[in-house]
Amino acid sequence: MSEVVISAKSVGKTFGSGADKVTALDDVSVDIFQNEFFTMLGPSGCGKTTLLRLIGGFEQATSGQILLEGKALNDLPPYKRPINTVFQSYALFPHLTVRQNITFGLEIQGVARKQADDRAEEMLELVRLAQYGDRVPSQLSGGQQQRIALARALAPAPKVLLLDEPLSALDLKLRKEMQVELKRLQTETGITFVFVTHDQEEALAMSDRIAVMKSGEILQIGAPREIYEAPTHRFVADFIGDSNFLVGNLVDNGTGKRAIKLGGGQVIELTQDVSGQRSGEVTVSVRPERLGLVAESKANANQLVGTVSTVIYFGTDTTYQIDLGNDALLTVRMQNGSGAKADFAQGERVGITMSPDSIRVLAD
Ligand SMILES: Nc1ncnc2c1ncn2[C@@H]1O[C@H](COP(=O)(O)OP(=O)(O)OP(=O)(O)O)[C@@H](O)[C@H]1O
């Protein structure tokens, strides 16, 4: 297991007082490991930038502690932390050349001129802009400027690089390229990246682990696949990708296993361990692409059945809306050309196939 680099221990942060008091972070605890691409993901105002700023030393926690390699950072100022930040606005010095932008911080730290120049060349090669050292930032594209900002931040070999929505000023195509680039830089340098974004695809594509935040709290921390396939909260399932939500009663199915009984009496088997959960009304989620359709005549006794209410053809796949009765609707996305029959008509009665492990009982 890797070493923990950054630890947040029961961190709270409020701004203002009295009626103007805002709780930006509420009892947040997380461990971030060495050599990890860690992403904080959540909607605007959920507190992700505040947590990043606490790690960077730009804000002080109201309660709790931030530790670096087990030592409390307390009021250590940003420039004394082995932590660097890359902002959305590249914050390059416009009158300095690209090379000088990179060497500037190193020289302030007391690195000798020759060594700083060598390091700048190394960093320019790392970000694949070796021939641009003599230009000034205005002679570079947005994507190139962002890469220079990265080269500058990586030059002192920080233990942790904080990235606050660094790609949001770039257009979609460039953004996708930079996602690959950032991931490569993190892997090649082995530096821990702590990345903030509200873009779920970006988070899934780049991260080793993601913390999903809402209203100052971390709801779930996990690898992208885990967050996507096994969301713990309705908010997580909804925020990341598309999900079906069904409300039903958690019951014993008679063979010692748990199942969900829908309002209309249909039952969904579970494989998820919900032994700690009391019987009663729960919400379950299932991804549309984890469901399939068969003609009703081919459905097993334990499969859900319903009526196709809408068919939308998207080329690569077709999306069906299935009415299960009792106000329960399911969206099913089937890939076209995958071999499975995927041409069901509106009004057709169908059976719904699903793997039980794709059904998740949610916390709220
Ligand atoms: N300096 C401040 N003074 C007062 N309130 C603040 C301050 N900084 C942040 N907040 C509030 O704290 C909450 C969390 O803000 P934060 O910037 O951490 O959210 P965020 O998830 O990064 O959002 P965004 O994606 O919009 O940047 C918000 O309600 C915000 O208005």
Same domain for 226 and 247? no
Same domain for 127 and 265? no
How far CA 170 is from CA of 44, 132, 238, in Å, comes to 19, 20, 26
DSSP-assigned beta bridge partners for residue 282? 248
Query: Which two tokens mark 206?
Result: 């780049």
Residue 349 included in any domain: yes
pLDDT of residue 169: 80
Asked if 5 and 39 count as a contact pair (C-beta separation under 8 A), the reply is no
Q: Which stretches of the chain drop beneath a pLDDT of 70?
A: 1, 339-342, 364
Same domain for 153 and 207? yes
| Entry pTM | 0.90
Assign residue 112 the CATH number of its domain. Answer: 3.40.50.300
pLDDT of residue 318: 93
The interface predicted TM-score (ipTM) is 0.96
CA of 4 to the centre of ligand 1 (A): 26
Assign residue 281 the CATH number of its domain. Answer: 2.40.50.140
pLDDT of residue 299: 83
> How many domains does the structure of the chain reveal?
2
DSSP-assigned beta bridge partners for residue 311? 320
Same domain for 219 and 322? no
Asked if 294 and 351 count as a contact pair (C-beta separation under 8 A), the reply is yes
Same domain for 176 and 252? no
* 278-332 residue pLDDT tens: 778 999 999 999 999 999 888 887 889 999 999 999 888 999 999 998 888 999 9
Residue 332's domain spans which residues? 242-361
pLDDT of residue 339: 66
Q: Is 220 in the pocket of ligand 1 (CB under 6 A)?
A: no
Residue 236 included in any domain: no
pLDDT of residue 75: 80
Same domain for 72 and 216? yes
Same domain for 204 and 280? no
Q: Is 87 in the pocket of ligand 1 (CB under 6 A)?
A: no
CA of 265 to the centre of ligand 1 (A): 46
Same domain for 225 and 246? no
* Residues 303, 353: Cα–Cα separation, whole Å: 7
CA of 211 to the centre of ligand 1 (A): 17
Asked if 305 and 332 count as a contact pair (C-beta separation under 8 A), the reply is no
pLDDT of residue 108: 86
pLDDT of residue 170: 82
Give, for ligand 1, the residue of 48, 51, 162, 198 to mutate: max count of ligand atoms closer than 8 Å to Cβ.
48
pLDDT of residue 326: 83
* Residues 205, 189: Cα–Cα separation, whole Å: 19
Residue 330 included in any domain: yes
Task: Mark which of 189, 206, 231 sits at the end of a domain.
Answer: 231
Task: Mark which of 188, 203, 231 sits at the end of a domain.
Answer: 231
Q: Is 42 in the pocket of ligand 1 (CB under 6 A)?
A: yes
pLDDT of residue 172: 87
* 207-248 residue pLDDT tens: 999 999 999 999 999 999 999 999 999 999 999 999 999 999
Same domain for 215 and 293? no
| Positive/negative CA dihedral, 61, 65, 66, 68 | positive
Query: Which two tokens mark 24?
Result: 């930006």
* Residues 224, 218: Cα–Cα separation, whole Å: 15
